[in-house]
Amino acid sequence: MDRYQHFVTNGFHFKPEEPEYWHTYLINNILLILMPVFLFLIILNVFVHKLYAIALIDLIAIVIAVFLLRYFHHTNHVRKTSLLSVVFYTSLLVVYILISGPNNYSFAWILIFPAISYFLLGRDAGRLVTGLSLVLLILSFTLFLPLWSSADFSFISLVNLLFAALCVTILISFSELSRAKAYDFIRLKNEELMRLSHTDALTGISNRLKLDEVMLKELARVRRGTPHFSVIMGDLDLFKRFNDNFGHLAGDQILIEIAASIVPICRLTDTVGRWGGEEFLIICPETSCEGAMILAEKVRKAVESLPLHRYGSVTISLGVTCSRLDDDINTIIQRADKALYLAKSAGRNQVRSMQSTNHQLSLDEEAIELFNN
């Protein structure tokens, strides 16, 4: 199986997630199948029917199929090989029909041509090549029509019809499979791009775009009657001095470790993100200000106790606020930022809250005391 996959993917040159993978798969399979088929026809025409001229045509077809396979595996040119394969099939079809004439319903094999052309060459080129080829076939057959006599329906006629219909069914199924796989690949890529667009590249937590989206959703939920949510804004203390002493690479590593320490503390429903620089934001759905302050204190202690080895210790100041009905993103962020300023002004490494723009509330000592106990 591995050897087969190696062959039909041109030595794994084409991957399943690539759009040309299924074209490669089909080209290799068509050419592979044609070779034993024509080898069987050579044996039949030489030893049974004594049709040596037709056996020679079958041999030429095998040689061309081998050449196309070698060319394709050497160059990996999907479009050129697709076009050559369509020309090859068209030539075989014309020769077969001209030799067979109206006997045994040989015209049934024309039905395969549009399916192969559209799949290998694409919609526009497939439509053009199919149209031109069918016109040429009709003109050619018209010239030979006076020379052909009517033929009865035979067992070989039934074989031609059944196998032509089977080949068309297989090609359509293969085309649908490749379309479905391509759709799944595009969907997964879109999901990955969406995830990346919402993820901070350094820390792996939510970025500002994602935080904005979550806050908009939570504000809308509050207006529909859902309990209020809280926002925690944290800023590392004197982090510029840390960067100056140890360098920005060390600073980046600390941000990564701090983000990793915050996430396990929060609930699955909470959104932890990097607001910018050394600022972090936590959105807590259906959470009172008191509950958010308890969480903020957990975060503060986790950061303070984070083992940073030779870098010493890092602390964080946090501001907490709860949403109001008339809030938008700017107003709730402004309150959280002012609460953070209070924590910084009080000596850093503290938690402060603000409930409104006109009234400042300090740390809820009772809530934190309950937490400590």
Cα separation, 175 vs 181, in Å, equals: 10
C-alpha 22/C-alpha 33 separation (Å) is 16
Average pLDDT over residues 4-32: 85
User: According to the per-residue pLDDT averaged within each range, which of 162-171, 236-245, 254-263, 351-360 is highest?
Assistant: 254-263
My answer on whether 215 and 324 are in the same domain is yes
Does the structure show a pLDDT above 50 at 369? no
Reduce the DSSP state of residue 232 to 3 states and report it.
strand
The burial of 230, by beta-carbon neighbours within 10 Å (0-12 exposed, 13-18 middle, 19 or more buried), is given as buried
In this predicted model, what pLDDT tens digit does every residue of 248-292 receive, in sequence order? 898 999 999 999 999 999 999 999 999 999 999 999 999 999 999
Residues 34-63, mean pLDDT to the nearest whole number: 88
My answer on whether 181 and 288 are in the same domain is no
Same structural domain for residues 171 and 282? no
Which one from 192, 213, 278, 369 is the annotated catalytic residue?
A: 278
> For 160-167, what is the mean pLDDT?
84
pLDDT at 176 over 60: yes
My answer on whether 357 and 323 are in the same domain is yes
Angle at 48 between CA 42 and CA 49, to 5 degrees: 80
Range of the domain at 98: 2-195
The answer to whether residues 148 and 265 belong to one domain is no
Question: 333 near 231, Cβ under 8 Å?
Answer: yes
Q: Say if 91 falls within a structural domain.
A: yes
Q: Confirm whether 286 is a catalytic residue.
A: no
Per-residue pLDDT of 97-119, as tens digits, reads 777 777 777 778 888 888 888 88
Does any domain span residue 201? no
Mean of pLDDT values over 39-44: 88
Q: Note whether residue 202 is domain-resident.
A: no
* pLDDT at residue number 13: 87
pLDDT-wise least confident of 86-90, 181-185, 227-231: 181-185
Residues 189 and 221 both lie in one domain: no
Q: Tally the domains of the chain.
A: 2
Asked if 186 and 213 sit in the same domain, the reply is no
Of the three residues 195, 225, 240, the one that is the final residue of a domain is 195
Comparing CA positions, the residue from 292, 316, 293, 296 lying closest to residue 304 is: 316
358 pLDDT more than 50: no
Model pTM score: 0.58
CATH code assigned at 333: 3.30.70.270
Share of the chain above pLDDT 90, in %: 40
